[in-house]
Amino acid sequence: MRQLYLCLGYGSLALGVIGIFLPVLPTTPFVLLAVWFFARSNPALAERLYTHPRFGHLLTTWRDQRAIPRRAKIYALSMLAVSYGLVLWLTEIELLPFILAIIMGSVALYIATRPAPRERPESRIPEA
Mean residue pLDDT of the chain comes to 88
Quote the pTM value. 0.74
**Dist CA 86 CA 42 (whole Å):** 38
Task: Express each pLDDT in 45-87 by its tens digit.
Answer: 999 999 999 889 989 999 999 999 999 899 889 988 988 998 8
The yes-or-no verdict on residue 126 having pLDDT over 50 is: no
* pLDDT surpasses 80 at 100: yes
Q: Is 68 left (phi over 0), alpha (psi -120 to 50) or beta?
A: beta
| Helices 70-90 and 96-112: angle between axes, nearest 10 degrees | 180
